[in-house]
Structure 1
Amino acid sequence: MVSAARTGVVLSCVTAADRRGLWVAERPDKPHVAYPGRGRVAGPAAVVHWQRAIVPRHPDLLEDEIENILLTVASCQPYEAARAIWDSALNKKLVDLAHLRRLPWTGAARRLVREASPWADSGLETFVIVRLRWMGLPIRSQIWIHGHRVDFLIGERLVLQVDGGHHVGAQRTEDIRHDAELMLLGYHVIRVGYEQVMNRWPEVQEQIMHAVAQGLHKA
């Protein structure tokens, strides 16, 4: 914040998103900042975004408004990573989708405002939705089955659970118990972790494709 004040910029994009507790796939090596539209930037060791703000910036502002953060993210990050941040902002109720859709977005943000959703509990879930939609199957997220919420229900019977870092100890034991209950009820469960989704996605996709090929998604 002090460096932003000294160099005439505002914190924005993934740096500001991370500060707000949004789901960021990878923290950048350099801070991301935005030019506020006045004065002269003193050349900080940062990634500078020059887009015109979608919400006017107050002259004393040192950190962007959430709408401007989403704007810079849209133009800076790959679609999946940007979509995860947009979904996270909606999920945390930092911004309202109806409000976003009333703003005059341009570029990549126009696609994101059409497709973003508040229902993903983590960026991992956003990545899964984006990467599986080509299959053309109904994929519902955060569905309640037998008293517990599952991450994804593909078709009618294929459950996909995506574990973050908190699925250990008692949580892991409960997950295993619920998986067994689901299978006894006629569901097929595939459970994957963070590292698989982010770094070994082809393996995850292949498992799902083979399950669908066997009809395990059907009642």
Structure 2
Amino acid sequence: MRSVEELVAELGRKGGVARTAWVTEQGFSRRRVDDAVRRGAVIRPRRGWLADPHAERTLLAAARFGVVLTCRTQAALLGLWVHDPSGPPHFAVPPHSRGRLPIAARLHWGSAVVPRHPDALVDPIENVLAHIAECEPFERALATWESALNRALVTVEALRNHDWRPAARRVLDHALPFADAGLETYLRVRLRWLREPIRVQIWIAGHRVDTLIGERLVVQIDGAHHVGAQRSEDIRHDAELRLQGFHVIRVSYPQVMFEWPSVQDLIMRAVAHGLHRSR
């Protein structure tokens, strides 16, 4: 007879939460399951479901309330760029739902782009993106979509085969797969009025640069990891770029997020001086 420890390990394969029927199919008897529940190694979030009590809390909530993780909650769990992952969890609810949960949550209705399996606790990526487009402002939604494209969770070509609502169609029309982080998307969107070529994540002098405006103006965005050896390499690469005739503007995450007018003013003045053009 398979052990309780094996049962917990099998639940781990399903993210820590699974249907009781699936557990039975893996060879665990009802007696073993009841024993695991009595010992506290496994819990029953809802009839017909079993879970590791240490499973991700929003996944446990999805099983407990019969809903599906979606929108920015699931996007964050997938490691995608999300402007603000804090706040209540986002769930997709079935059409017959009463529309209320006993916890703070953001609920999403509407038909799914990709049908959901009855046992699913998390939405397919296409559904996640569809809800992001409806729920988040355009700039933030675009950053999450481009993060999904950059990580190859979806492709532009495949996305174009779906029937999207207007908000999602607008995001798809602007989405590119090159942005490595949401701030690069923000930079491109916020500066498109300049009507200058803006390219992200291109190779110059042996390294990628975050953004190239025109032919010669490089804008680099420093995150929290730009310290120590990384900072030394940044300084070396900046010097190499300057030797090759590029102009470098380096800004921080907080500047882009919270001090955008000053960043925009700096870039505008650099463009006014012609620093984006080849001499």
Query: Following superposition of structure 1 onto structure 2, how do residues 1-219 of structure 1 map, counting pairs within 5 Å?
Result: 1-38=59-96, 40-44=98-102, 45-219=104-278
Contact 1:15 1:31 in 2 (8 A): yes
Q: TM-score, normalised by structure 2?
A: 0.76
Deviations 1:140-195 (A, max 9, x none): 11121121211111111111111122111101110011111111221110001110
User: Percent of aligned pairs with the same residue?
Assistant: 60
- Tell me the distance in 1 between the aligned counterparts of 2:100 and 2:72: 21
One-letter code of the match for 1:29? G
> How far apart are 1:115 and its partner, in Å?
1.1
> How far apart are 1:38 and its partner, in Å?
4.6
Aligned pairs, number: 219
Q: TM-score, normalised by structure 1?
A: 0.96
Higher-Rg member (1/2): 2
- Tell me the distance in 1 between the aligned counterparts of 2:262 and 2:87: 29
Structure 1 unaligned blocks of 5 or more: none
Contact 2:133 2:171 in 1 (8 A): yes
Change (3 A) 1:39 1:59: farther
Deviations 1:12-33 (A, max 9, x none): 0000000111011111310011
Runs of 4+ that moved beyond 4 A:
38-42
> How far apart are 1:37 and its partner, in Å?
3.2
- Tell me the distance in 2 between the aligned counterparts of 1:39 and 1:126: 36
Contact 2:95 2:110 in 1 (8 A): no
CA RMSD of aligned residues (A): 1.2
One-letter code of the match for 1:20? L
- Tell me the distance in 1 between the aligned counterparts of 2:210 and 2:184: 7
One-letter code of the match for 1:43? L
> How far apart are 1:82 and its partner, in Å?
0.7
One-letter code of the match for 1:161? Q
Deviations 1:30-88 (A, max 9, x none): 00111133554552420001121111111111110000000110000011111111000
Q: Which has the higher contact order (CA 8 A, sep 6+)?
A: 1
